[in-house]
Amino acid sequence: MGDHLHFVSPLGRLPLVSALPKILVIDDESAILDTVRILLRREGFEVSTALGGVQGVEKLHEFRPDLVLTDVRMPGSNGLDILSAARQLDPTLPVILMTAQVSLQSAIRAVNEGAFYYLQKPFANDDLVAICRRAAESRQLRRENQVLRTEIRRRERGGAGGPPIGTSPIFTDVLRLAEAVAPSDSTVIISGESGTGKEVLARYIHELSGRVGGPFLSVNCGALPESLLESELFGHVKGSFTGAVRDKDGLFVAAKEGSFFLDEVGEMSPATQVKLLRALQEREVIPVGATEAVPVDVRIIAATNRDLDEEIRRGTFRSDLFYRLNVITLHLPPLRERPEDVLVLAEHFLARFAGQRGKEPPSLSPQALEALQSHDWPGNVRELENALERAVVLSDGDEIPVTALPVRITEHASLPLISNRLPPNPSLEIIERAYIHWVLQSEGGNKSRTAEVLGIDPSTLYRKLIRYGMEA
């Protein structure tokens, strides 16, 4: 399998880029783990192993694999326990069971509970590789179909949604979990700094849910005073306060059969928190000034840039509301922790803003590229988006000069220029390859130190070295 997989549809090329398939191998015999790890790594998988079922369940949550290969008979937690844990984590996660003692009863149970394949030991290496490849391809196809359906829905409605952009492992892990929980009705809370794209992720979850036919409504809980926020959330009846000249449905009611995004939920006053808790528990709201409750049918997605655990300790956020909201938690990492996504996002924004003006997407000059890569992005994705919109507006030619970027981004650019090693009009991939090569040489071939300087995980560096043919 290649390092990147692309799917071309009648709608055009969709950004379905995936890294090396990640496989978790679980067995209580270390010799089997070593053999399978060597075999699957040679065949292009990123492999993590767990000795026994208990460690395997822990690794499921840490490693976030694309598929699982597990022995059935193990002390502590057996293969069927692993299968159950994997299905709870992600219903689409393929699980391959392997055992030396096949019984019809256990095989039937495994298939009924969603196992991808039931493999008998001893097995031929070629058979194992073929099954794992088939499972990885099935997983990839599911994701491609999911994104394609979302894109079709978005284009039919003329929306500007679609999957959030990014290819870094730390980001794609969040995206995978979001895609796994989207079909459910579970409440989701998204944490992350301002500008990381929490509403974009919330809208994506809505697009993949069974509520996509309903509305997606949102409110910023920190942008409205308490009295107005309650009216917006729960509605009001005529005469309930000065200016209430008629009855009004709140957003809980207006979002019927859809999704309701509560942004900056940590900014709510204690009184409003109590009313929100009741709405979540009873699935009904009482409009301001009313005495009768109104039933609601809506999926709640909340977001915050605050540390709610700390807010609970300080007594400014209710613990019972937190636990009601915190069914599924997604944390969006800041852009400085996913620097490999800066160029991917830059290409996306340049194409979008140029398209809005009927222009071909411009390229970035080496100096502009250097500035983007060296900036720490305190404003995250929103800051990058605004900077590139400004750059497209201020640039007339086919290339974005560094002078078109805001001063706050260019004033600290200090990375060494490598433009003298590049061909005319290089692609972003050529620039990235040249820069990685330069850092690797500067660090004397030390890959751990190179990954540290680049600000990426060693595993990410390893995949890029393979992709660019720089790994022996």
pLDDT tens string 273-312: 999 999 999 999 999 888 889 999 999 999 998 889 999 9
Query: 366-374 vs 428-442: helix axis angle to the nearest 10?
Result: 60
Per-position b or e across 203-213, b if 16+ CB within 10 A of its CB = bbbbbbbebbe
> Which contiguous run of DSSP H or E holds residue 71?
strand 67-71
Whole-prediction pTM: 0.59
Q: What is the pLDDT along the chain (472 residues), one digit of tens a residue?
A: 333 333 333 333 333 334 578 999 999 999 999 999 999 999 999 999 999 999 999 898 888 888 999 998 898 888 889 998 888 777 778 999 988 776 666 666 777 778 888 888 888 999 999 999 999 988 888 777 666 665 555 555 444 456 789 999 999 999 999 999 998 889 999 999 989 999 999 999 999 988 988 899 999 998 888 888 988 899 988 888 877 778 888 899 999 999 999 999 999 999 999 999 999 999 999 998 888 899 999 999 999 988 899 999 999 999 999 999 988 999 999 999 999 999 999 999 999 999 888 889 999 998 899 889 888 898 899 999 999 999 999 888 899 988 888 877 876 554 444 444 555 666 777 778 778 877 776 666 778 878 888 888 888 888 888 777 666 4
Identify the pLDDT of residue 456. Answer: 87
| C-alpha 334, offset from chain centre | 12
CA distance 176 to 315: 34
3-state secondary structure of 379: coil
CA distance 334 to 466: 26
| Six-digit token string for 307 | 């540390």
Angle at 8 between CA 2 and CA 14, to 5 degrees: 90
Identify the pLDDT of residue 113. Answer: 73
Residue 44 backbone zone (phi > 0: left; psi -120 to 50: alpha; other: beta): left
CA distance 264 to 273: 12
Identify the pLDDT of residue 47. Answer: 95
Alpha helices in 327-399 (DSSP H): 341-356, 366-374, 380-394
Task: Give the burial class of 285: count Cβ atoms within 10 A of its Cβ; 0-12 exposed, 13-18 middle, 19 or more buried.
Answer: buried
Domains and CATH numbers, the chain: 8-143 (3.40.50.2300), 169-333 (3.40.50.300), 336-467 (1.10.8.60)
SS3 content of the chain, % helix, strand, coil (to 5): 50, 15, 35
Task: Give the burial class of 64: count Cβ atoms within 10 A of its Cβ; 0-12 exposed, 13-18 middle, 19 or more buried.
Answer: buried
> Which contiguous run of DSSP H or E holds residue 461?
helix 458-467
Identify the pLDDT of residue 7. Answer: 30
Please list, in sequence order, all residues whose beta carbon lies within 8 angstroms of the beta carbon of residue 249, skipping any fewer than 6 positions away.
Answer: 235, 287
Residues in the chain: 472
CA distance 355 to 389: 11
| C-alpha 33, offset from chain centre | 30
CA distance 385 to 391: 10
